[in-house]
Structure 1
Amino acid sequence: MKASAPMLLPLLRSSFQGELLAWLFLHPEGEFSLVELARRFEVSAATATREADRFVAAGLLAERRQGNLRFVRAKTDSVVAGPLAELLAVTYGPTAVLGPLLAETPQVEEAYVYGSWAARYRGRPGEVPRDVDVLVIGDADEDDLYEVSRNAERILGREVNIRRVPRTLWRNPEDDAFLSAVLSRPLVPLNLT
């Protein structure tokens, strides 16, 4: 059965295409092996290779080989690079941007996007959300989280709201009306590695 186009950006054939392009265009200084990208996005090496081949052929990605490894990076000198990066920031950007920012923040144990962005990511129809809601599990400092949200807002071009929840409350969500409501709707885990 063929998967339907992703709700966040139905111009693409798959969510993996959006995640891959967002990761590369929102980290334009980086060069990543296809093995690393397949692992990061939990897809097969064949899938990562197939999509990279398409984007290299289209002039969106540059590639380099080193022995048996193949590396790709965003082609930032392309005429479409700027507009594409902006489009990816407002669609697939939250997972590409927030995970690395929160990974550098002390005492962040887990993090999830919830709300309307998570609903679109999980395939529920609707407009592209105007903000991004993030749930952080742990005892991270509120000032550090505020700084993360402001940095993310600059990159994503929209409001980012971070709510911190202590681990003890996360283990017993039925004791909290907010958490119970959040857990009854789609969540998207952020990769903190």
Structure 2
Amino acid sequence: MHILNASIHDVHASSRLLPLLRSPFQGELLAWLFLHPGDEYSATDLARRFGVSQPTASREADRLTEAGLIEERRTGNLRLLRAKIDTVVARPLTDLLAVTYGPLPVISELLSRVPDVDEAHIYGSWAARYRGEAGAIPRDIDVLVVGDADEDDLYDAARTAEQRLGREVNIHRVTPETWRQSGGDPFLESVRSRPTVPLDLAEERT
């Protein structure tokens, strides 16, 4: 499952995480490329990952290429995109994207390395802003991990994420059995009742 397959992605809505951007997808696309410097992705891959149409991904890539923020390489009919990191704006832009849209690529990458993590979801204020709810910029990131992962491994992942994202990261672990039988648990009922964003660990592990 890719990050946004479970939701409708309104590419015309303004970004709640970084209002300077024209759309949430623009932030997602830029964050993914700048937080994976040197890696290349096709427009098809990015469209699938973020749940938008191929034409939408291609148009956004065109805009960002023309603006000099990303660059492309063509091999046959395949158009590969990557961040343009040799510009004066690359470092500050990377830092800005890390603290806004960065939790998706950063936390997905870190948790994919932790054994016995079955699934993970961001919840709380960051997830609410990501899903389009108005409000203040989140000061921390709340993550629910389902699995039998070692608490020390999760602690280390959270501290590394904090260093890369520039804000507090809180990881709460529940067993698969507890997650499946969450009825009556006030905390899990609260998590389920509010916006959440699943992390694509399987994609990172491939």
Query: 4+ residue runs of structure 1 moved beyond 3 angstroms?
Result: none
Deviation at 1:2, TM superposition (A): 8.1
Find the partner of 2:19 among 10, 25, 44: 10
Find the partner of 1:102 among 102, 105, 111: 111
Contact 1:19 1:96 in 2 (8 A): no
| Paired position in structure 1 for 2:149 | 140
TM-score normalised to structure 2 length: 0.89
1:62-99 CA distances to partner (integer Å, 9 max, x unpaired)? 11001111111111111111111111111111112111
Contact 2:121 2:196 in 1 (8 A): yes
| Paired position in structure 1 for 2:4 | none
Contact 1:64 1:70 in 2 (8 A): yes
Pairing 1:72–2:81 present: yes
Percentage of matched positions with identical amino acids: 63
* Alignment: residue pair count: 193
Find the partner of 1:117 among 122, 126, 133: 126
Q: Secondary structure at the match of 2:183?
A: helix
Supply the distance in 1 between the matched residues of 2:15 and 2:176 (Cα, whole angstroms).
Answer: 32
| Paired position in structure 1 for 2:55 | 46
Structure 1, unpaired ranges of 5+: none
TM-score normalised to structure 1 length: 0.95
Map 1:20-99 → 2, pairs under 5 A: 20-99=29-108
| Paired position in structure 2 for 1:126 | 135
User: 132-141 or 24-33, which moves further after superposition?
Assistant: 24-33
Supply the distance in 1 between the matched residues of 2:85 and 2:111 (Cα, whole angstroms).
Answer: 25
Measured on the aligned residues, the alpha-carbon RMSD in Å equals 1.4
Pairing 1:149–2:158 present: yes
Supply the distance in 1 between the matched residues of 2:126 and 2:167 (Cα, whole angstroms).
Answer: 12
